[in-house]
A and B are shown apart, each in its own frame.
Chain A
Amino acid sequence: MERLTPAARYTLDALKQAGADDAQVSVSEGKTEEFNVDAGEFSLIRSVYSSGASMKIIKNRRKGTVAVNQLDRDTIDTAVAECVAAADSGVEDDALSIASLEENADFKDGALVCDKAAFFDSVIKLTEDIKREYPQIMIEQLIATHFYGKHVLANTNGVLFTEEDGSYNVSVMYSAHDGENATSFNYFDFEFLDPHADILAMDGARTMLDRAVAELQTKPFTGKFVGTAVFSPACLGDLLGIVTGSFTGDLALIEGTSIWKNKLGQQVADDRFTLSVIPHDPRIVCGERITSDGYRSEDYDIIKNGVLNSFCLSEYAANKTGLTRSKSTSGCIGVMPGGENLDKLIAGIEKGILVCRFSGGEPANNGDFSGVAKNSFLIENGKIAYPVSETMISGNMAEMLFHVRGFSAETFCDGSSVLPYAAFDGVTVSGGGAEE
């Protein structure tokens, strides 16, 4: 932090001298090492050296923010002047604030040094394992990255956090091919600390590739029914991201469009549903330690046993709405698993669909959604019947959370979330030939 802490202090001093009542600065440096595979072949190695400073000023109850990517004094001085000009052009707002001083800390976590040779070997092994075990799988794109970063967050209330971390990440986008027959693409993504890791052995990777090969037998689904949708862990994570944004996020509460705006402490879901933000869970890799507002990050429950326990709000949105700032700004989520494994969950479903990827429009504020069920399988009489193409699903997210069929006992961790399969009743499934 030998360069960053002085840069942070210099920036805060400059902001104060420029008339700041309050100010916050975040400065960072990082290095990324990356391997790319395109169309099944290694294509590129990439190294990125980065730095950055973002600053926020509150002056006469008005806010300005500026971000730059260099830390020299000329750049900082120019940015400070721009930040002041932005605040001067702003609007008075009593909800503006910076973090109060609690307890400063230094955090260090993860794989701080990239073992480029070992990581390269692991990525080569992954591509060779896939080629050998799954000859029908085409890796459309693989991005393997080690990111190392250090970061200082400081403000004029005396807050000073430092953070240094590093981790490996592999993201694989793939499809299955058999002659001219090809499946939709799907992807998996893992974050981890061991450069020697057996990546194909990670949670759910082989299951997803097995399913892709099965999808070569896809049939278009015709007709329409209302039944049970079983969402894969990755798909559930995407859907819950929409739920948290539309129902509990800053804009939804400031605008007052959240349908849960008056539901704090009330039942908003089946009582088996618990949704938590878990940056400190030991399964999470390099989870958030400092919130973007400048507080120490903590785990918390958004929904506990079906009851809305907390919104996901920044300090500004909390001040604006009279609600409470959330304890973390992390996107690392966990959902409480159920008591039955996936096979047993499916065995109880008369008619439904196993959805492994959802490609849909952004749901309305009230939770109405519709989209294409990608990489998905029809369920009939308690069994997976066949993979489907050109099939759409629709429903309402808020209603769906009350219509829980069950959660699987098994959970899957990709390094940034820990999620089970989730089955919801009352979802409309329609195929290409559906006519009134």
Chain B
Amino acid sequence: MDDYIKRALEGVSEDAEGCGQTMRGRNVSVVSGNLVGNASFVTHGIGARFCKNGVWGFASDSACTPESAAAVIAAAKENAALLHSRRSKNKPALTNARAAQFTEARPFRDTDQKTLTDFARALDAYIETTYKDLASRSVMIRANCIEKTLRTSEGTFAYQLFPRTYVIVAMSMETADGATVELFDVLGGGEGCFTDYYSDPSLLYPAVDKLHRELAAKKEGVFPSAGERLCIIDSEIAGMVAHEAVGHTVEADLVLAGSVAATNLGKQVASPLISLTDFAHTAFGKRAPLPVFVDDEGTECKDAVIIKDGVLVGYMNNLESAMHFGMEPAGNARAYNFSDEPLVRMRNTALHPGKDKLEDMIASVEDGYYLTKTQNGQADTTGEFMFGITMGYEIKNGKLGRALRDTTISGVAFNMLKTVDMLSDTVSWDFAGYCGKKQPMPVSMGGPAIRCRVNIGGR
């Protein structure tokens, strides 16, 4: 594909990029012993985008031939010209440098379907034989890889692989009142192929056992009392604060649309304990969970520092917004598939750790909640956020109490972050999610445990 794109882009002087992409995936789902999902997919295609005085044209085709590459580039150029003719922004050409060069050294490695189904069935068999008190159980395996080649009119060449794999186990139990409580967790996995992380299902048994213990506690759980409460948000879900509560509001396209961050640059928006960065490929001295080296506009990826010591210092930008705000682009323009145009997206977004010990944080709360698992979250341009909470505990007089049933927490990010007065000294990452914003996007998010005040739903 790359040769076709290279040839089709020859002589193109406008701001343009061409992308060839292959996406592969294998999915296995065992639900209460039934192999309900046993599937794989492969998609290929070519996409191209042109900029004409501040407006863009895009086109893509699943056909991968020299003719289709030329046709895609011609159609993208035509779309840019059409939009320019009706709604020109009359902006100058993009002046940011985008001539990054990167070639992934690792080859793509697939795992055959039988390895995945055998692993899932073995794990399911362990759960079935070990735990007789479950109303339902499921094991899901995901092993996906995006393989992407990018060229730009300014000379970028980037060949990148984005492999990701993980195992999810979910369980449910019936309560005394006939209701059902459920819980799930991602067990292991990360960037890479399945066999990089998983060899023997028995290595996951301790994690399954822990999940079962938590579910058993939740079965006897109570609803929290609705209202604003002092909470410890565990590091396992602190990434949601980084991603949902803050991250979306500082994506430059949403800033331009009037998000709360538009009027807060340079201002104290959080406790001085808070620093937040969208990491490119290295975080806290280690390879980030889902590293990105060159974005889909051809910009070399760097860390985007968002909040430093409580002050909002930056946004996440694409080339166009970086020019608008006079900021340096850090490579946040990402496209999910060959048929998608790059949007301003997060990569590995995390709150920095503090110095407190989790046990001290819990001990410091007289009456509140310790929230340990989440399921989904949503953001608002006003900074108002929401996460579903699937596991948590009461804290009474500094000690953990009864478990909680499912609930929701919400708050206004820049208000909530000002209430943060303790941060734990360890960071946890969640790498298994997709961010939704016109297109899905694999992202990771992380942070330490946080002591803060939030609204909690309940009865």
Contact = CB atoms under 8 A, between A and B. Distances in A.
A42 interface: yes
Given A41-B89, A182-B381, A177 B258 contact: yes
B253 A394 contact: no
User: How many A residues are at the interface, by size bracket?
Assistant: 35 or more
Interface string A92-131: 0101000000000000000000000000100010000000
Nearest to B114: A89
A49 B60 contact: yes
Given A45-B80, A255-B32, A50 B75 contact: no
B254 A372 contact: no
Nearest to A246: B180
Given A180-B263, A256-B135, A364-B405, A44 B31 contact: no
Contact of B380 (A52, A85, A359): A359
Contacts of A365: 172, 179-182
Interface string B381-400: 11010111110000000000
Interface string B85-122: 01101000000000000000000000011101110010
A436 interface: yes
B251 to A, nearest CB: 11
A155 interface: no
Contact of A257 (B64, B86, B116, B180): B180
B265 to A, nearest CB: 13
A368 to B, nearest CB: 6
Interface residues on B, range: 35 or more
Interface string A373-385: 0100000000000
Contact of A138 (B44, B257, B408): B257
Given A49-B63, A86-B113, A430 B388 contact: no
A257 B253 contact: no
Contacts of B44: 69-70
Nearest to B45: A69
A105 B386 CA distance: 47
A390 interface: yes
Given A44-B83, A365-B172, A85 B227 contact: no
Contacts of A185: 380-381
B40 interface: yes
Contacts of B387: 361
A6 interface: no
A316 B87 contact: no
Contacts, number: 268
A320 B34 contact: yes
Nearest to A433: B228
Given A39-B257, A44-B55, A85-B114, A68 B60 contact: no
24 contacts: A39-B258, A47-B76, A47-B79, A49-B61, A49-B62, A89-B113, A89-B114, A91-B34, A93-B34, A254-B31, A255-B135, A255-B136, A257-B135, A361-B388, A361-B408, A363-B406, A364-B179, A370-B406, A370-B457, A372-B408, A374-B384, A389-B382, A390-B410, A428-B459
Interface of A: 35, 38-52, 63-70, 79, 82, 85-91, 93, 95, 120, 124, 138, 140-141, 143, 175, 177, 180, 182-185, 224, 250-251, 254-257, 259, 316, 320, 359-366, 368, 370-372, 374, 389-390, 392-394, 428, 430-436
Interface of B: 31-32, 34-36, 38-45, 55-64, 75-76, 79-80, 82-83, 86-87, 89, 112-114, 116-118, 121, 135-136, 138, 172, 178-182, 223, 225-228, 253-254, 256-260, 263, 339, 341, 374-376, 378, 380-382, 384, 386-390, 405-408, 410-412, 438, 455, 457-459
